[in-house]
Structure 1
């Protein structure tokens, strides 16, 4: 937005020379005259300054004994003066302003905040099915009705706020889906199970029935803490079952196999310094690409940057600019030395251990060895880890078994004894 204002107001690229250019800069700072992109140059400094500020420099130049030279004039005022005799230039400007005014009457960007259970894509697609969103006329949008419709169609969304800001539609929501999902899980019941073979080192149970104790050997898939709770009657017999989501701190020491392979000779790519550029204009349905120079590279990498055209935070346009930089690469064969192979293997191992740590594993010991071959380098071994059990499964429902000779209410129905 600031660059746009500078363009419409006009600015100059100038060069200041003389006896004391530093004093000139200090006086400009004291008088709040904005200078930008200041760079030292031969016998002085180069910088950019607005037309309005340039007109205030005369007393400062006289006081400091400096001279100023205009290198380049930029901005709309100079462009308008340059093309003042070209009628089509002003017709084009008028047409562009009319187009901007027309597009400002529509919604070109939808922003959804506060959602975690429902994705942006889900809610955006729902709004499009209701005729709300990209390309909607702002005057046809009734925000209160949209809010009521969302709450009706999504019971797990308890609060909605819909606002139009510029050409953006901002939807703020609050969900209860996570809490409801948790309640459903507790109603069904979940078990805590072992992910790998190992030895239980400690167990602290907060909810559920512990099925193992410290020192027990467990297999992958064994239930550590059950989500099934037994309910006993006054006689100490099981009279029913209640289900919950098992909650416990169970640590299992395990030995995990580790194996890694990578080629002894790899192809490495280096930039040659040759580049190509491409520009594309993208709308929701179409894409128009302009190759500024044809790409003839055999090996290359693409760096793409996508920008939505907008003015300020709220005035979005239905056009995206896709800038692409293409760097030529030169392939070169490289054979690993023993030291390079060890460093590469070490980096792969550290990355693997980092992923385990993110999954609540503690690395206790690493024991690996490297085998060198002409075509391949192999790393194998074992990792001793301490795992905090987090894997769950649905609790298997149990049926209360009736004892022989008893009904469900506990009355003896046996045939032994006298029946007078």
Structure 2
């Protein structure tokens, strides 16, 4: 590999040797230290080989002595490239300016990629990053990623973890969002067990504290289930405070509805479309053709292609293609039974989304509500779950 690179840098030629004494030609060249390589016999009395430019100037006596005919087939290498373009100064000047421009643009950030955010909106993340010095167009060597990470953690309470890495002209931001966990009361602090939601008590197991409810009781959110105030023995009016502990299982319900639609609208593409292209340079969009959308019903697809060298060297040039696709709305009649089945399935999916992971679904109730000529499917899921949560005695 290094040998090939060195030969390309200094330049070499490919020659054709024709005659009866090709082997003698090669031996004499070797004896006179004229370097040959990649010698190949193409057919009888004809061979191709490679040699340096300096060696090519020395082979005329060898060819005359062996009676071989030597022809130049090809010139290869950097010196010949320079020689070919030596009069094209504008070409070299343009190439030099291009390299300088690429190197200059590579010193800035032109793309910020954010991943891992589910509840935090993209715009909120971009605004917070900009406040910490991370945005497109900023000089990348001025970015302090450690300081930006600290600033983001202080700025957004929902962040549990964040990493910021600079690769080429791109900033990659990966985050993990904080989950809303109930307050954990330390073991040495007195507390009650209260209801986090409404329900009907199914089972109460008090490991510490006094049961404040019994099986079959209906409780409201915030009601005390296991009290941390334990009466003193001996009939005294006083009580001691304890850290209530236990499990309170209750029946809970989750309900969702979906309309029964008999006339279903479908959007069908007609095959006609209008394409509009625009160029973005340094965040400034230039509409090249300014095509007007004439369709009344349509969908839009947007394709953005960023100019980049490799994966991470993104440049501030974008080609945007917007496609307006004409559609027509077709109404199709659906049978009442099929419409009901589809509405029940939608309502069930909505209700199931509300059920916590730790809850067990024990019963499902489907019903239909008819009102003012419309039908609504309703699905109720009955669950068994632990509704208890700790609350400090005297706390909020």
TM-score interval, smaller chain: 0.5 to 0.7
**Does the CA contact (< 8 Å) of 1:203 and 1:250 recur in 2?**
yes
Residue 299 of structure 1 deviates from its aligned partner by 0.8
Q: Distance in 1 between matches of 2:298 and 2:224?
A: 53
Q: Which residue of 2 aligns with 1:201?
A: 202
CA 1:298–1:263 in 2, change beyond 3 Å: closer, same or farther?
same
Q: Which runs of 5+ in 1 are unaligned?
A: 1-85, 399-420
Partner residue, 2:54: none
Q: Is the 8 A contact 2:297 2:326 kept in 1?
A: yes
Give the secondary structure class of the aligned counterpart of 2:347. helix
Which residue in 1 is equivalent to 2:380?
383
Counterparts of 1:317 and 1:88 in 2: how far apart (Å)?
24
SS of the counterpart of 1:348?
helix
- Structure 2 residues not aligned, in runs of 5+: 1-87
Q: Aligned pair in 2 of structure 1 residues 259, 138: CA closer, same or farther (>3 Å)?
A: closer
Q: Which residue of 2 aligns with 1:338?
A: 336
**Cα-to-partner distance string for 1:110-149 (whole Å, 9 max, x where unaligned):** 46789999988667545533545432223444567x3797
In the TM superposition, what is the alpha-carbon distance from 1:103 to its structure 2 partner? 1.1
Q: 1:316 aligns with which of 314, 317, 326?
A: 314
Aligned-partner Cα distance in 2 for 1:333–1:320: 40
Match of 2:269, SS state, is: strand
When the two structures are superposed, what TM-score results if normalisation uses the length of structure 2?
Answer: 0.55
Question: What is the distance in 2 between the residues matched to 1:124 and 1:293?
Answer: 31
Question: CA–CA distance in 1 between the matches of 2:283 and 2:152?
Answer: 30
1:261 equivalent in structure 2 = 259
| 1:204 CA drift (Å) | 4.8
Within 1, Cα distance between the matches of 2:339 and 2:117?
A: 46
Residue 343 of structure 1, CA deviation: 2.7
1:99 maps to which of 98, 101, 114: 101
Give the Cα–Cα distance (whole angstroms) in 1 for the partners of residues 161 and 365 of structure 2. 54
User: What CA distance in whole angstroms lies between the structure 2 residues aligned with 1:238 and 1:165?
Assistant: 67
Check whether the contact 2:166–2:172 (CA below 8 A) recurs between aligned residues.
Answer: yes
Give the corresponding residue for 2:213.
212
For residues 352-391 of structure 1, what are the structure 2 equivalents within 5 Å? 352-358=350-356, 360-370=358-368, 376-380=374-378, 383-389=380-386
Q: 2:170 aligns with which of 161, 168, 171?
A: 168
Call closer, same or farther: CA 1:232–1:314 in 2, change over 3 Å: farther
1:362 CA drift (Å): 3.6
State how far apart, in whole Å, the 1-side matches of 2:317 and 2:208 are: 55
The superposition leaves residues 346-378 of structure 1 with CA deviations (integer Å, 9 ceiling, x where unpaired) of 322332343244555443333434477996333
Secondary structure of 2:276's aligned partner:
strand
Q: Is the Cα contact below 8 Å between 2:197 and 2:221 reproduced in 1?
A: yes
**Contact 1:192/1:247 (CA < 8 Å) preserved in 2?**
no
* 2:108 match: secondary structure: coil
**Corresponding residue for 2:228?**
229
1:33-66 per-position Cα deviation (integer Å, ceiling 9, x unaligned) = xxxxxxxxxxxxxxxxxxxxxxxxxxxxxxxxxx
Change (3 A) 1:134 1:348: same
Q: Which moved further from structure 2: 299-308 or 288-297?
A: 288-297
CA distance in 1, matches of 2:283, 2:99: 24
CA shift for structure 1 position 221? 1.8
Alpha-carbon deviation of 1:219?
3.4
User: Using a 3 Å threshold, how does the CA distance of structure 1 residues 338 and 262 change in structure 2: closer, same or farther?
Assistant: closer
**Residues 222 and 292 of structure 1, relative CA distance in 2, 3 Å threshold:** same
Deviation of the 1:341 alpha carbon: 1.5
Q: How does 1:273-312 map to 2 (within 5 A)?
A: 273-282=271-280, 286-290=284-288, 294-306=292-304, 308-312=306-310
Change (3 A) 1:234 1:206: closer
Cα offset, 1:105, TM superposition: 1.0
